[in-house]
Amino acid sequence: MTTVAEALTEATTERAPTKPPKLNSAAFKEVPQVRAVRDSIRAAVEKFCKTVDKSKPLTRESTKEMAEAVLKPLGLGESCLGFTMVMLTNEFWREQVAAIPFHRRLMLLPHCLKNAEGCPAEYDELGLDCKKCGACEVGDFRTKAEELGYKVLVSEGTPIVLKIIVSGHIDAIVGVACLNVLEKAFDKVLLAGIPCIATPLLSSNCKNTSVDNDWVFESISLHTPVPGAKTKTYVHLMRAANAMFEEPELTRLVPKARQTPATAVAGREVKDPLARHESIAYDFLARGGKRSRPFMTLATYDALKGAPATLSDSGWELPDAAKRAAIAIETFHKASLVHDDIEDDDAYRYGVETLHRVHGVGTAINLGDYLIGLGYRCVSRDRKSLGAETAADILDKLADAHIKLSEGQGAELLWRDAKNKALTTLDALKIYALKTSPAFEAALYTGVRLAGEATSYEKMIADFSRNVGVAFQILNDIKDWVGDDDNKLVSGQDVLAARPTLLLALALEGSSPALREELLHLIASARNAGTDADEIVARVRHLYFAAKVFEKADKLVDKFRAKAESLADEVQPTEFRELLYYLVDSVLEKPELPRQGVVQFVELGK
Ligand code: SF4
C-alpha cells in the first residue's frame, strides 16, 4: 500500500508545479524556541522520510507539502514551516552526506555566531579568518571539522558555495545558517541536487546568535562507508560546463591556431601578435561567469538521452561535439559582454579591468568579433560528426539569436541616445524579449538538436525562453535597486546609464502628468556631465515607490514565470520537463524587494 509520504512524493514530482509556493517569510524565519518542540519535529521528520523517494531532488513545493504533512499531526502550524522544511531536507540528504569522505565536504559557518565583542579574527576574501581562540562555537566547530579533513569557511552567500562545488573539490555541504539565508540558498543549492545538511541558527538577529551545538557536532561527524540511495543531481553537468573552459581542456576541444612561440629580439621576448591576440581571446573566454548557457545546452542534450549525467557513477561521457556546441553558445555570450562593456564604457568585468580599458576600444571590438567567428566555427567544423543538417540547423539558430540580441541591444542604445525618453511597458518588454531570451533559446535548441529531431520542441523552446528571459530581465531591474553580488553593487545604475527599463516604463505610466515630466527630465539628464548622480537616483527611487513599480514588476515576474512553467508542464520526456522546472527555479531567483526607508531619509535630508 502506498504510504502518505510516497503518495505525496509521487504527486509532487509527477504533477507539474505551477508557481513556487508563497511562504509567509516571517513564519519561514521562525525557529521554535523550545528545544522539546525542535526535537519532536525532527523525530517526526525522520519517521516521515523513511519512505520518501530519494532518487529525485526535492522541489520547494514538494518540501513545503511534506513539511505541512509532518506538522499537522503534531498540531503545529505555519510558524514552524521553514524550520520543518530544513529538517526535511537534512533528513533527505543525511545518508548521502554521510557517505561522502570528510575531505570532500565543506563546513560553512556564519560569522554572526562569533563573540562579537572580543573576536580577534579578521575578514579576508573568503570570509572571517577565525583564530580558534575558544571564545565562541565558531572555533570549536572549525577545529572539529578540520580535524576530520573538512574545508571550512566562515562566510555566507550562495554564489561562493556554488563556485566551490562546481570547481569539483567539494561534494557536500555541512552548514550552520539562519533560516533567512537557508531560504535564499534553497533554489540554488538544493534544487541543483547538492547534498547538504544545515543546522538552523535559533534566531536571525545577525549578532551573537546561537545554535543547537550537539546537532552541529553530530552533522560534522556523520560518516558511513556504505553509500545510500543516490539522488539525481545537475552538479556533474555544472562541472562539465565549467571544466570545458579550463586549460588544457579548452585548447583540446578548440585547438588554438597560432602556436608561434615568443621570440627574443635584442634580448627582449617578443610574442607573435597573432598568438597574443588569440591568447587574450582564449583568456577572456576562460575567465569567470556562471557558464549557465553552456550548462543549459549540455543538460538539455543529457535530458533527452535519458539524463545519465545526472547520476554520479553512470560513467557516461558527453561527446566532444556537444561540448564544442556548448562552448559556441558561451563564445557568443562573451563576445556580447566585450561589446556591451565598450558601449557602456564599463570599467570592470569579473573583478578586473574590461578588455577595452586594458587593450583599447579597437582591439576589444576586434576580440569580440573574433569570439563570434570562433563560436560559429565550433559548430561548423563538426559538421561531419554532427551531420550536415544538424550542424546547419544549429548554426541557423545561433545566427538567429545573434541577430535578435543585436536588435535588442541596438534598440536599447538608440533609446539611450535619443532626446525623447518616453517609454511604454510594451516597448520595454519588446526589448527584453530580445535581450536574454534568444541566448536561452539557442542554448536549449542546440541541446535538443544535438540529441535528435527538434521540430516538435521548437515553438515550446522559443516561448519558454521568451518568458524566462523577460522575467530574468525584470528581476535584473529590481536587483539594480537592491544591489547584487554579480557586477553591480550600487543601486540605481540603470538610471545613470539611461537604460530603457520596465521599471521606468511602469513609473511613467503610473505617475501624474507632472511627475511623469519630472521623471523624463531626470532620465534625460542622468548622463549629462556635472549632474548630481546621487540626487537623481534618490529622486527616481522616490518616484518609483510612489508609482508602486516594484510591486507591479514583481507581479509581472510571477506572470511570466507561471507561463514558462505551464509551457514546461506539457513537455516530454520527464527528464527534460524536470530540467525546465529547474531552470525556471534557478534562473529566476527573486531578490527581496527594495525598501522605502532610504527614500524617507532622502526626503528628510532635502
Ligand atoms: S573562536 Fe574564532 S570566531 Fe570565535 S571569537 Fe574566537 S576567533 Fe572569533
Q: How far apart are CA 47 and CA 3, in angstroms?
A: 12
3-state DSSP helix/strand/coil % of the chain, to nearest 5: 60, 5, 30
Phi and psi dihedrals of 153, rounded to 5? -130, 135
CA distances from 17 to 20, 49, 182 (A): 7, 21, 21
Answer whether 362 contacts ligand 1 (Cβ < 6 A). Answer: no
pLDDT in tens, 270-283: 678 898 999 999 99
pLDDT at 262: 62
Answer whether 143 contacts ligand 1 (Cβ < 6 A). Answer: no
DSSP letter at 113 equals G
CB-based contacts of 391, cutoff 8 Å, min separation 6: 379, 380, 382, 383
Supply the DSSP string of 114-165, one letter for each residue.
S-TTT---EEETTEEE----SSSHHHHHHHHHHHHT-EEEE---HHHHHHHH
**Using an 8 Å Cβ cutoff, are 335 and 369 in contact?**
yes
pLDDT band at 438 (very low <50, low <70, confident <90, very high): very high
In angstroms, what is the span from residue 120 Cα to ligand 1's centroid? 7
In angstroms, what is the span from residue 275 Cα to ligand 1's centroid? 50
Greatest mean pLDDT range, 452-456, 489-493, 528-532 = 452-456
Residue 23 has pLDDT above 60, yes or no: no
Section 527-556 average pLDDT:
92
Phi and psi dihedrals of 175, rounded to 5? -140, 170
β-partners of residue 264 are 269
What single letter denotes the amino acid at residue 407?
E
Whose CA is closest to 338, among 365, 359, 360, 362? 365
Position 543 in a domain: no
Minimal-distance CA residue to ligand 1 atom 5: 119
Angle among Cα 580, 582, 587 to the nearest 5 degrees reads: 95
Answer whether 23 contacts ligand 1 (Cβ < 6 A). Answer: no
pLDDT at 28: 61
pLDDT at 315: 67
Minimal-distance CA residue to ligand 1 atom 8: 119
Residue 476 has pLDDT above 70, yes or no: yes
Section 529-555 average pLDDT:
92
User: Which of 136, 144, 146, 209 should be mutated for ligand 1, with most atoms under 8 A from CB?
Assistant: 136
Position 349 in a domain: no
Here the cell at position 88 is: 526535511
User: Which of 119, 142, 146 should be mutated for ligand 1, with most atoms under 8 A from CB?
Assistant: 119
Position 209 in a domain: yes
Q: Is 478 left (phi over 0), alpha (psi -120 to 50) or beta?
A: alpha
- Of ligand 1's atoms, which has the minimum distance to the CA of residue 134? 1
pLDDT at 163: 77
Residue 256 has pLDDT above 60, yes or no: yes
For the chain, give the longest Cα–Cα distance: 85
Position 112 in a domain: yes
Answer whether 546 contacts ligand 1 (Cβ < 6 A). Answer: no
Residue 160 has pLDDT above 80, yes or no: no
pLDDT band at 122 (very low <50, low <70, confident <90, very high): confident
β-partners of residue 12 are none
The rounded mean pLDDT for the chain is: 86
Range of the domain at 167: 4-221
pLDDT at 533: 86
Answer whether 114 contacts ligand 1 (Cβ < 6 A). Answer: yes
β-partners of residue 196 are 173
Rg (CA), the chain: 25
CA-CA-CA-CA dihedral for 544, 545, 551, 552, to nearest 10: -40
Minimal-distance CA residue to ligand 1 atom 6: 133
Answer whether 136 contacts ligand 1 (Cβ < 6 A). Answer: yes
Residue 569 has pLDDT above 80, yes or no: yes
pLDDT at 158: 61
pLDDT band at 602 (very low <50, low <70, confident <90, very high): very low
Residue 359 has pLDDT above 70, yes or no: yes
pTM: 0.79
Position 168 in a domain: yes
Find how far residue 556's CA is from the centre of its chain: 20
Answer whether 172 contacts ligand 1 (Cβ < 6 A). Answer: no
Minimal-distance CA residue to ligand 1 atom 2: 130
The domain tally of the chain equals 1
Residue 196: strand, helix, or coil: strand
Position 602 in a domain: no
What H or E segment, with its residue span, contains residue 467?
Answer: helix 458-479
Q: How far apart are CA 504 and CA 56, in angstroms?
A: 41
- Of ligand 1's atoms, which has the minimum distance to the CA of residue 131? 7
User: Which of 133, 137, 156 should be mutated for ligand 1, with most atoms under 8 A from CB?
Assistant: 133
DSSP letter at 186 equals I
CB-based contacts of 350, cutoff 8 Å, min separation 6: 287, 288, 289
pLDDT at 396: 98
- Residue holding cell 522539546? 36
In angstroms, what is the span from residue 181 Cα to ligand 1's centroid? 21
Section 473-480 average pLDDT:
94
Here the cell at position 589 is: 531567483
Answer whether 349 contacts ligand 1 (Cβ < 6 A). Answer: no
Residue 336 has pLDDT above 90, yes or no: yes
Q: Using CB atoms within 10 A of its CB, is residue 348 exposed (0-12), middle (13-18) or buried (19+)? A: exposed
Answer whether 115 contacts ligand 1 (Cβ < 6 A). Answer: yes
Whose CA is closest to 326, among 213, 242, 410? 242
pLDDT in tens, 477-515: 999 998 544 444 468 889 998 999 999 999 999 999 999
pLDDT in tens, 70-120: 999 998 878 899 999 999 999 999 999 999 999 999 999 988 888 767 888
Section 299-319 average pLDDT:
86
Answer whether 244 contacts ligand 1 (Cβ < 6 A). Answer: no
Q: How far apart are CA 351 and CA 468, in angstroms?
A: 27
In percent, the amount of the chain with pLDDT more than 70 equals 87
Angle among Cα 190, 196, 197 to the nearest 5 degrees reads: 120
Position 60 in a domain: yes
Here the cell at position 602 is: 532622502
pLDDT at 312: 66
Section 256-276 average pLDDT:
74
In angstroms, what is the span from residue 220 Cα to ligand 1's centroid? 18
In angstroms, what is the span from residue 28 Cα to ligand 1's centroid? 29
Section 540-568 average pLDDT:
96
End-to-end alpha carbon distance in the chain: 70
Position 100 in a domain: yes
Answer whether 577 contacts ligand 1 (Cβ < 6 A). Answer: no
